[in-house]
Structures are given as C-alpha cells and as structure tokens.
A and B are shown apart, each in its own frame.
Chain A
Amino acid sequence: MANLHIVRSSGFTHNKLRQCLQTLMAADQIILIDDGVYNASHPDMMPLLNTHKVYALQDHIQARGLTPVPSGIELCQYDDFVALTIGSDKVITWQ
C-alpha cells in the first residue's frame, strides 16, 4: 500500500515540501492543500509529475488564483480528499 502526503505549506517559504520529497516512496501520492497549493508551480514538484500522482484541492487553488494548474496535477474536492486518505496506508501531514 502507498502513503498519502498532505502538503500544507508553500515550498517557496518553508522547507516542508523538500522534507516531504525526501521521504517520498515510489507508490506514494501527494495532495496539496492550503498554502501547499503554491507548490503546484514549484520547480521541485515538476519532475514528480511524471512519476507520482499529485492532487490539489480545487477550492484552495481557486482561492489563490492559481488556475490553470500544470498538467499532471489533478484537481479534487473534499470528497476526493477523504477517499484518498481512506485509500492510503498511512497519512502524513507536512505543515
């Protein structure tokens, strides 16, 4: 089973994104929420978009005017977020 990483802070101002990426395993998934949605355009994220499933909460993307998001990032709702936590082995929050 895979883990879900919830990234809640921007990689442009905090180092949590980097720490998250250091622990990321091959089958893990990432969801960007809150200021974590700024990572949608962070250089460190770009290589991951080909290898990992990356989601972003649509409400938070829109609230920050970040549309359109790079292809490879899937926008989701709270319901999908809940489903992701249930489908994962462990849920790790980076905030």
Chain B
Amino acid sequence: MTTFAIIVSTAPTDNRTLTALKFAQALLTQGHQIEGVFFYQHGVINANVYLQTPSDEINHLTAWEAFYDVTKTPMHLCISAAERRGLTDSNTPGFSHNIAKNFTISGLGELVVLTNKAEKVIQL
C-alpha cells in the first residue's frame, strides 16, 4: 500500500476534473490510501454548492461529495483561492456560505502537511 496526496486544480467545467476523480477511485480500489485531496486554483470551484449541470452531464460537486460519502477521504479547500472565485464560508449579511459541507476549509499549510505525510503527490 502506498499513501497519496492528490491536488485538483481544474474547474468543474474542465473534463480533466473527471480524470482526477477516476484516478482517485482507481487508487482506492487497488487498496492504496489517499491522505487528502487538495483543491487549489480553479479546482476550488468544484466546492460551490450552487453548481448545477444538465441532467445528462456529470456534476463534479455531487460526484466529489459522493466520493467523500463512500471513502471519507479528507477534501481540503484552499480558502484564499476560493475567496478569489466567489466562494465564502461567511454567514454575515451580504454573504451566504456556499462551500459544500464535505470540504474542509484549508490553506497551503495543509498542502505542506499532506506532501509531508504522503509517499506520492500527484497533481491532476
């Protein structure tokens, strides 16, 4: 068994995001462990609760949430990257918390921790 950290930096509108999810699923199927998935750059948009997609397309938000429900793999969200892209964890007037519940609010420090813990770091 090998331990992995995965960095997702592609938006839900990018079909490369599905590659990351499929890679993560293949890892776990083979019995490896994912220390965490770190959503960075445009990847943070995958955590927006307002994401909607046509019914015949993959909704990356619900796909990652389903992945979390089954695997309990920690999913970290870079809050600085998120706030730049209109995501917020604030409930103050004028804001509405729009980060999906399965994502942990994080920062680059957490990526350092993951990089340290995991034997392999893969950016997808």
Contacts and interface: CB of A to CB of B under 8 A. Distances in A.
Interface of A: 6, 8, 33-34, 57, 60, 78-79, 81-82, 85-86, 91, 93, 95
A82 B26 contact: yes
Given A91-B121, A93-B122, A93-B124, A81 B16 contact: no
Q: Mostly helix, strand, loop or mixed at chain B's interface?
A: mixed
A29 to B, nearest CB: 14
B27 interface: yes
A82 B27 contact: yes
Given A93-B122, A93-B123, A95-B123, A33 B19 contact: yes
Size category of the B interface is 20 to 34
Query: Most chain-B CB neighbours within 10 Å: which of A57, A78, A81, A82?
Result: A82
Interface in B1-55: 2, 4, 9-10, 15-16, 19, 22-23, 25-27, 29-30, 32
A79 B120 contact: no
Contacts of B122: 6, 85, 91, 93
Given A86-B2, A86-B120, A91-B122, A79 B16 contact: no
Contacts of A81: 23, 26
Interface of B: 2, 4, 9-10, 15-16, 19, 22-23, 25-27, 29-30, 32, 120-124
B17 to A, nearest CB: 10
Contacts of B121: 91
A60 B29 CA distance: 20
Contacts of A95: 9-10, 16, 123
Nearest to B18: A34
B32 to A, nearest CB: 7
A85 B26 contact: no
